[in-house]
Amino acid sequence: MTLLRIFPCLSVAVACLFAAPFAYADSAQGGYSVTAGLGSAITPRYLGSNDYQFLPVPYLHVVTPQGVYIDSTKGVGYRLYLPANFFVDASLNYAFGRKDENETWQSGSNYLKGMGDIPGALVTTLTAGYRLGMMGDVTVSADVPLTNRSRGETYRVGFKAIVMQVGHDRLSTSAEADFGSSKYNQTFFGVSASQSANAAFPQYGAGSGLYAVRAAMSWDHQFNRHWSISASQQITNLTGDAVNSPIVRRRLSLLTDTMVAYTF
């Protein structure tokens, strides 16, 4: 799993992805697929916060036989399947920024007062991957902002797999390593001289590199061909320059979500 990336690097949307991580593989068989759902999530106010908030999570996933999709977790995109189980994917989405006050619908906390707001940006995500049959995939991705370029780029290496499937129940797992450019890590974990003067944090510089690793488990139950329910738990561990940032109050964070979905 989110809501396209409500949080700059940790979003409710990411959790929703775990609820249907293999929908794209299924779409390769041809035909249209439309799934709508509604769920809820408990997530930190920002990556590094020790305060959590509850959010409702709407979900929409539409795939066409031509590979074009609309997804509330990824935006609008196109996936092309290549020979030998390889694929490429390109999508366009809007990534929200971060507020320096408590926000209901996006990342933000009163603890960051004086840091200023990080603006959102139109982002394109480029992905290359390898399918492990119908059991999962391995991917490398890049998020490149098309507007507000000062927020910087992020890169990910990810793995998803079904670990058990019994009857109408499926247990799957995923892991991800997140890397940020120097601009990105400084924007979300650094403290500039002007920010330090306005906020209660010392000046801090964050360079490029690995800033977080994530792992998740999800459970899906199919009631019938239309209705399903899912639940997932994701743990994120900050690392590199990010973990030593003065704005980080907790290096480990959890994201929990549940969702009920209907496939037409």
For residues 112 and 102, give the distance between their C-alpha atoms in angstroms, rounded to a whole number.
Answer: 9
First to last CA, the chain: 21
Residue at 1 is within a domain: no
Query: What is the CATH number for 223?
Result: 2.40.160.40
Residue 189 is assigned to a structural domain of this protein: yes
Q: For residue range 78-122, list pLDDT tens digits in order.
A: 999 999 999 999 999 999 999 999 988 889 999 999 999 999 999
Instruction: Please give the tally of structural domains in the chain.
Output: 1
Q: Decide if 2 is inside a domain.
A: no
The SS3 call for residue 153 is coil
User: Does 164 map to a domain?
Assistant: yes
Report the alpha-carbon distance of residue 145 to residue 155 in Å, rounded. 12
| Interatomic CA distance for residues 183 and 206, integer angstroms | 9
In a domain, 233, yes or no: yes
Q: Which domain holds residue 243?
A: 12-263
Whether 5 is in a domain gets the answer no
pLDDT tens, residue order, the chain (264 aa): 333 343 443 343 333 333 343 443 344 455 789 999 999 999 999 999 999 999 999 999 999 999 999 999 899 999 999 999 999 999 999 999 999 999 888 899 999 999 999 999 999 999 999 999 888 999 999 999 999 999 999 999 999 999 999 999 999 999 999 999 999 999 999 999 999 999 989 999 999 999 999 999 999 999 999 999 999 999 999 999 999 999 999 999 999 999 999 999
Q: Identify how many contiguous H helices and E strands the chain contains and give both numbers.
A: 5, 12
Residue in the structure block whose two tokens are 């992905």: 127
E strands in the chain: 33-44, 52-63, 68-71, 75-81, 86-95, 121-131, 136-145, 154-166, 169-180, 209-222, 227-238, 252-263
Report which DSSP code applies to 112: G
Residue 7, domain member (yes or no): no
* 191 neighbors 204 (Cβ within 8 angstroms): yes
What 3-state class would DSSP assign to 120?
A: coil
For the stretch 173-185, pLDDT in tens is 999 999 999 999 9
**Residue 6: inside a domain, yes or no?**
no
